[in-house]
Structures are given as structure tokens and as C-alpha cells.
Structure 1
């Protein structure tokens, strides 16, 4: 049950990002004026950008902007508009600080400082650490099942949810990978991949919650549970990618699916006698406290550490505990199934 507290928080935040495109910062007339001048002149103060060098017909003077940089820097895809927005934001924030005003959001985001081309470097680092933690958890789970626990005569694990957790591991790693990419550079493609990966993880997690909590071992029963949920999740992802990026609708879907699986896991946690259920409660408390960081949002400290970045950090130990529970569950189920066979 517990892991879904912070999984839902992760997905819900992904669903909520940029729901409101207009923010206090980008509504500021001085900021808008700065951007307008920058896109015409290619400069903000004394800083000028090669991306903004255009001829009278609108083409770049020195060729495509992405060919004007070293190969190792082209991945970040900063263009004229992006650089103008970033440096105008920095100037406005400096002016606001001089008169005692606090930071405000620009285009739905706090004013972060770039680091080596990364848009939100701390969130990128913690997303990468979450990815590494999921890889470590999945790999140790795989080794436990195939090399440490006894196997059936056909060399398959006794644990009847092994395949489901393997898929969960890959979906989790995929979701955190695209989270890291999205925080590196927020463009249309990375946004859609981040959203799609998060929704896929959330939808599959609901399927897994139902199958594990109700101990569904029959393939027909599993298909009856999975088929409609997979169809809905796939349709929703295709809708977001190919028809309309509807942030409000996506948020509603995430919340409903998240609450549904929380209820399923809560009921199971209340009736199970699992020997490692205490680990679930540790993550429940930790996940609940971590979610406070999302509720009480605050601007980035020194331009790097904001509430969301710290929330990413808090999920790292929770991931370790969750995979520890999964491995305990594998040992517990394997022992019980072996007894039945004997």
C-alpha cells in the first residue's frame, strides 16, 4: 500500500505541472517588454545570443541555431525564445529582490538557475537517483528469485507475481528516466513522454494492486482485471499525445486512478497478516510526510532546491524500503507455496 502514497504524489505532480500556464511572473509587463526587445535585438542588457541572429526574411544569419554550438551542447535545444525568457527572468528576479519582493513563477515554474544546460539540475539528480534505486531494487529482486530461492522443476520461480513485479520495475525505471529528461529540458516532446510514462505507471500499478491484494492467480481472472484498465490507460495516453494535452482532464484521471488503488491497498493492508507489513506502514508515514512538500510549495533555495526537488529526494529511501517489502513478499509466498506442494 505504502509505495502508492508517493507514486501517486509523483504522478499527480506530473499531472499538475503547467496546468496553469499563466503565472505572476510572465504576466509582469516589464518581463514581457524585456522578452519582446530580446527577440528583436537578440540581447538582454549586454548579453547577446547567437540563436537570435536573424536576417530580414526571418532565417538565421549563421545557419540553424542548433548548428552554432558544439555537438556535446546541442542536446539541450535552447532557442532564442528560451534564452530570452531565462535571462529576462533573472533580471526581473534581481530587480524584485532589490526592492524586497520574493520570487514568483514564470510560465508555471519557479525561477531556477541552469547548471551545465540542465533546467532543474537538482530534480534531475534526484530523479536519476530514484532511477538507480529502482534498478538496484529490481536487480536484487531478480537475483533473489532466480538464484537464491528454490525454483520449480521447470526452473521457474515459485513466486506467482514475479512477472508482474518485473514489469512494474521496468515501468518505474522508465518513468523516472523521463522525469529526469523532462526536468533537464521542458519541451513538448519531453513533457509528453514524462506524462505518458507517469500515466502508464499509475494505470499498471492499479492493475497490480488489484491482482496482488485479491491474490488472483488464475490467468482468466487477471485478464478480466487488466484488459479494461489497460484499454483505458492506452486510450488516455493516445488522447494526450495525439489529440489534446488536456492538463485538467489528465489531473482528474490521475486522481481517480490513484484514489482507487489506495483504497485497494488500504483494505488489503488492514486484513493481511504479512510478516513484513511494518515496512508498508513505514512508507505510509514517510510518504505522507513527503507529500507535505508538495502541498507547502516554496521557491528554490539559491535557485536550485525547491519543494519538489526535496520531495524527489525523500522518495529515494522509500523506494529502497518498498523493494525490500517486495523481496520479503517473494520469500513469504515461496515458502507457503512450497509447503503446499509438499
Structure 2
């Protein structure tokens, strides 16, 4: 292996981190015209010719929904947002229409681009892609389970020869959990779904970093694994608690997630370079693809036609990478099991 290869990878991925400095906060919600529109909507219940029945209040502050026979059926009411959310959304669309006529570019509102809702779903494309990623993670996890327990030889105590089986099971559960909450969050962005999405992503990134260190360094002893994992678990737990109970700091969270993602990409890249693993080419594709996918999330751009933005495209790139990633994990299980069985003989 070229001794300069790991250094070049470090420079490449470090350069990706530096790009985060170009990110800036949204300023659409600071627009005085947008603010006035939201305030008027919450008082009158209307944006232009569009009015919201759940924005009408009585003198004692209780919402006036009209008689029961005028309510939408329960199976349709899931599409309904609260008054403030509807006011923000339709004021945003009205303001963006005005900006377009003036030749101005779209801006973010409350940290998000102006999206078009579909049946009450805030970001329909991102939701669909999150669901596909969830399905891919489930497929990969089940296929890995079948390989290690039904296709490969087991020990006399019915446990697998592969030393990382339990860790990959945990990874599969955390990955499916993360994509589930990603779909929920992109369906309806409220404080609870936002915190669950961010917390799940941080937990997944933290655990995959631990897994990268353990597998790349071939750490097998339980005591050594605990020593490696303990400080990272403490850090990730502290960060999640900070986000949920002290301050949901978007900038800090983005830096923490980027640092953990880049660190594990670098670890896998260096390990793929020095190891003779038969499936290392799959690992290279995932590392390079993951690095390029990060650029999509960094160079954010407005949603095309109000539906597809850079983050949605990042979700799309994750689908084939997930399939290849679980393929590498299965190959790794077969490779390690075969190697151990040869030593036993």
C-alpha cells in the first residue's frame, strides 16, 4: 500500500469538514413581511383568501371548530396541522411567491426550505426515501441474520463463530430506528419529532464509530471493547441529553455528527487500505460514496419544484450504499467464520 494513501484520505475528508464553515443560518423567518403575515393569520385565521377553521378562537381563548357534523372524519384529520404551523406554512408560500415575482432566490424559514405539502406530509420525497432506507436496513439485517445463523457453521453452544454478530445486530436496530424517526420527522416537523430524529441519528453515528474502531483494530476481548466504547458512549449520551434538555443547538450538532461520520470514514478507509479482506472493494465504494454524499448535505440547495432538495438526494444515495454495506457485513461474517474454522481444524 502507498504509505501516503491514509494521509491523502485524511486531507480529503478534513477538507469536507472545512466546508461546514460555509453553512449559514436561515433568514426567511426574520423577514418583517413574513412575520406580519404570521401574526395576522393567527389573529384572523386567514392568509389571503385561504382561512383555517382551527385558527378561530372564542373570547375565552378556546378554538371554535363548529358543530360536530362539520368536522372532518377522524381518518382525514391526521392531515390537519395546528394554527401556528398552518399560518407559517402558507405565509411562507405566499412570501416565496412574492419573492419569485421580484426575481429573488428562495430562502429558508425556521431552518427549512419552503416545501410543498402532500396530504399533510411536509417533505413527501424525503419521507418516501427514508421509508426505503428503513426497508433496506431491515432487508440487510434479516439477510445477515440468515447468513450467520442458518448458512454458516455454529459453535457447539449454538453461538456464531463471527465475533461481531451481536454488535451488528445492535447496529441494525439503531439504523432502523434512525430511519423510522427520520420519516416521522420529515412528515411532521415538531419539537418532539425533531429531537427524536436528531437523537436517533447521533446514537447511530456514535455506535457506528465504536464499531469501526472495534472491527478495524480487531478488538475481541470484552474488557477491551468496554474500554474503547465507554468514553464514546459517555460523550454521545451527554450530547443527546444536551440537545434534549438544555439546548437544541443545530450548529453544534452538525459539527458533532460530521466529526463522528468523518472519523469512521477515515478509519474504514485506512483499514481497507492495509487489510487483505476479500470484500474490501465494497468497503472502498461505501467510503467514497459516503464521503461524496456528505457533500450533498453540505452544499444545500432549494427544493426543485418544492419537493426534492439536497437532503432528499442524500437520502437517495444512502439506499444503494446501504445494500452494499450489508453485503460487505455478510462477506465479513463469512470471511471471519472460514478463517476461524481453518484454525480450529
- TM-score higher than 0.5 here? yes
Aligned twin of 1:123: 126
Q: CA deviation at 1:315?
A: 0.8
Q: CA deviation at 1:264?
A: 2.5
> 227-236 vs 169-178, which deviates more?
227-236
- Where relative contact order (Cα < 8 A, 6+ residues apart) is larger, the structure is 1
Q: CA deviation at 1:60?
A: 1.2
- Say which SS state the counterpart of residue 307 (structure 2) adopts: coil
Q: CA deviation at 1:212?
A: 0.6
Aligned twin of 1:232: 235
Aligned twin of 2:180: 177
Corresponding residue to 1:165 among 165, 168, 174: 168
Aligned twin of 1:71: 74
**Structure 1 alignment gaps of length 5 or more:** 2-7
CA distance in 1, matches of 2:240, 2:203: 8
CA distance in 2, matches of 1:68, 1:245: 36
**1:37 matches 2:40:** yes
CA distance in 1, matches of 2:117, 2:310: 17
Aligned twin of 1:134: 137
CA distance in 2, matches of 1:195, 1:320: 23
> 255-264 vs 75-84, which deviates more?
255-264
CA distance in 2, matches of 1:196, 1:158: 33
When residues 68 and 228 of structure 1 are mapped into structure 2, their CA distance, relative to the original with a 3 A threshold, is: farther
> 289-298 vs 43-52, which deviates more?
289-298
Contact 2:80 2:120 in 1 (8 A): no
When residues 251 and 98 of structure 1 are mapped into structure 2, their CA distance, relative to the original with a 3 A threshold, is: closer
> 45-54 vs 87-96, which deviates more?
87-96
Q: CA deviation at 1:123?
A: 0.3
When residues 223 and 289 of structure 1 are mapped into structure 2, their CA distance, relative to the original with a 3 A threshold, is: closer
- What are the within-5 Å matches in structure 2 for residues 298-337 of structure 1? 298-337=301-340
**Structure 2 alignment gaps of length 5 or more:** 1-5, 7-12
Q: CA deviation at 1:322?
A: 0.5
Corresponding residue to 2:62 among 59, 83, 90: 59
Q: CA deviation at 1:232?
A: 2.1
Aligned twin of 1:4: none
1:142-161 deviation digits (Å, cap 9, x = unpaired): 00111111111111111111
Aligned twin of 2:9: none
> 139-148 vs 23-32, which deviates more?
23-32
CA distance in 1, matches of 2:131, 2:24: 25
1:262-286 deviation digits (Å, cap 9, x = unpaired): 3332332221100110111122332
Q: CA deviation at 1:71?
A: 2.4
1:215-265 deviation digits (Å, cap 9, x = unpaired): 111111111112222122222212221222233332333233333333332
Contact 1:19 1:248 in 2 (8 A): no
Contact 2:269 2:287 in 1 (8 A): no
Aligned twin of 1:49: 52
